[in-house]
Amino acid sequence: MGKVVVVATVLGAAAVCAAAVGGLIVSRRMKNGAKWSRTIEILRDFEEKCGTPVEKLKQVTDALIVEMNAGLHSDKGGRVKMLISYVDNLPTGEEDGLFYALDLGGTNFRVLRVQLGGKDGGIKHQEFAEVPIPMELMIGTSDDLFDYIASELAKFVTQEGEEFQLPFGRERELGFTFSFPVMQTSIDSGTLITWAKGFCIDDTVGKDVAEELAKALKKQGVDMHVTALVNDTVGTLAGGRFSNKDVIAAVILGTGTNAAYVERAEAIPKWHGPLPKSGEMVINTEWGNFQTSNLPLTEYDKALDCDSPNSGEQIYEKMISGMYLGDIVRRVLYRMAEEASFFGGTIPPKLGIPFILRTPDMSAMHHDTSADLSVIGSKIKDILEIPTLSLKKRKVIHDLCRIVATRGARLAAAGILGILKMVGRDTLLSCNEKQKSVVAMDGGLYEHYTEFRECLEETLKELVGDKVWEHISIEHANDGSGIGASLLAASHSRYLEPEVKESQDDIVVVPSMLSED
């Protein structure tokens, strides 16, 4: 009997232990189930708040038009500055001769030269070089920076081959694309308001950047005149118009975003003095600073803005441009890790680093079509140092990338619709069967993020309707701002015949301030 009791006792203890283990397993499953439910809840809540139905997009467009009209009336009219570019005659395709360009907008700059062939000749030859800017020059002195740029430009000039011909007795002319906030006072002058993108050179602020470059070129012994100072979006428009006479606007969707378009001069109340003979003026919208209550802002967007050095500014840009999209994805993933243990028991340290997840990484994950979403697994391993991730979690990340990209692309399309409305090209009545409304597009986001690009175009088609869409075309203008600057130097050359330059002589200088971003 004693043995039976012992056996029964052992069996009873085993049963209790098994029940306890089973209870732990069930409890763990319940907890895991709750965590997964929370993950999906965060994802769906974010998707709902990012919603961009057609009616909302049209409200965004209408609000943008109100801001654009206010900017045309006054430099202090609103957030969208609508800056006068002093470009009243875009390239016609008949430009002839050798022209240079300098494109400065980040940690590298490009120098270009183009040989134009006149009517029907197009661009006969072109060459370029890209030069990195040493970090110490980005925080040094104005003289040091411009002397360095001029010295590199001087080297580039010495490599000018026989296929590039400068007419006898002429000085080389240069178009200067300067993608920082300046107060533009004419086609070839403008004073720096503030630096951005990692530059911090106090003694340049308040100086005419075209004059600073001219001074440095003279010091280097380079015989070259700065003929045009332009924003990169205006340069892209000029390059697009040179290739296609139907180009009416240019949009940049890259690290940041901006747009420029051709406006009737008489529709610009803040323009004072005689109207240019062409009757037109290129407007640099600076639309990145657009803001309206109709934008589908989420708590993640608000946190990103709050953490940025320009909090309260460039809200539209922060929702649609390449610098920010990847970080919005990161912020949602951080919430999932924090509230739903998405990456396990602890939050990956790397996930807390702002901008560690870049938009090119997001694009690669969004474009992952493999059965096991292996690209997403590799990216998460490389960036966040998480060795394994289940397929269902990879699918969540794929969905998250899609949501952020779709919202950005659809909002960008609403902006383009705003420009079409401003120039009266948004209805069937305004469509000329023989004429297209072409928008020149540049920027790495548009060029490389296929899902973003296709969504933008599909959304614009949805907004204007099939019939109007037949008359609209979006064309990629690779390196538009650099080529465009050289073309604007050509179309504003000091050596043009008097009758060609007559429209320029009628322009009265009216200072106009670029926004600080």
CB proximity list for 182: less than 8 A, separation 6 or greater: 190, 191, 192, 193, 209, 229, 514
Whose CA is closest to 100, among 517, 475, 487, 492? 487
DSSP string, 52-98: --HHHHHHHHHHHHHHHHHHHH-TTSSSS--EE-S--S---S--EEE
- Whole-angstrom Cα distance, residue 225 to residue 211? 10
- Whole-angstrom Cα distance, residue 82 to residue 147? 32
Least confident of 228-232, 385-389, 424-428: 424-428
Helix H or strand E encompassing 266: none
pLDDT of residue 29: 57
Contact criterion met (CB below 8 Å) for 276 and 88: yes
Residue 239 vs residue 121, higher pLDDT: 239
CB-based burial label for 13 (10 Å; 0-12, 13-18, 19+): exposed
Contact criterion met (CB below 8 Å) for 248 and 180: no
pLDDT in tens, 468-495: 999 999 999 876 788 899 999 998 998 8
Residue 257 CA neighbour count, 13 Å, CB half: 29
pLDDT of residue 12: 55
- Residue 517 reports pLDDT greater than 70: no
> Which phi-psi region, left, alpha or beta, contains residue 89 (left: φ > 0; alpha: ψ -120 to 50)?
beta
Mean per-residue pLDDT, 328-351: 95
CB-based burial label for 38 (10 Å; 0-12, 13-18, 19+): middle
Provide the pLDDT confidence category of residue 246 given band limits of 50, 70 and 90.
Answer: very high
Mean per-residue pLDDT, 248-275: 92
Mean per-residue pLDDT, 308-323: 92
pLDDT in tens, 3-35: 545 444 544 555 544 444 444 454 555 577 889
pLDDT in tens, 166-204: 888 889 999 999 988 787 888 999 989 888 777 889 999
Residue 199 vs residue 332, higher pLDDT: 332
Mean per-residue pLDDT, 380-404: 96
Mean per-residue pLDDT, 408-434: 89
Provide the pLDDT confidence category of residue 248 given band limits of 50, 70 and 90.
Answer: very high
Provide the pLDDT confidence category of residue 105 given band limits of 50, 70 and 90.
Answer: confident
Whose CA is closest to 490, among 125, 262, 238? 238
Q: Which of 85, 179, 189, 437 is catalytic?
A: 179
What is the three-state SS of 386-455? CCCCCHHHHHHHHHHHHHHHHHHHHHHHHHHHHHHHHCCCCCCCCCCCCCCEEEEEECHHHHHCHHHHHH
Residue 169 vs residue 371, higher pLDDT: 371
Q: Which of 208, 232, 327, 361 is catalytic?
A: 232
Mean per-residue pLDDT, 249-271: 94
232 an active-site residue?
A: yes
pLDDT of residue 432: 67
Q: Which of 110, 113, 241, 425 is catalytic?
A: 110
For the whole model, what pTM was predicted? 0.85
Name beta bridge partners: 230.
177
- Residue 55 reports pLDDT greater than 80: yes
User: φ and ψ at 228, to 5 degrees?
Assistant: -140, 130
Residue 119 vs residue 205, higher pLDDT: 205
- Residue 511 reports pLDDT greater than 50: no
**Which CA distances in Å does 470 have to 412, 428, 437, 460?**
19, 10, 10, 11
Task: Give the pairing type, strands 172-178 and 96-104.
Answer: parallel
DSSP string, 187-208: TTEEEE----TT---GGGTTSB
Least confident of 287-291, 302-306, 342-346, 391-395: 342-346
pLDDT of residue 477: 87
Q: Average pLDDT, whole number, for the chain?
A: 88
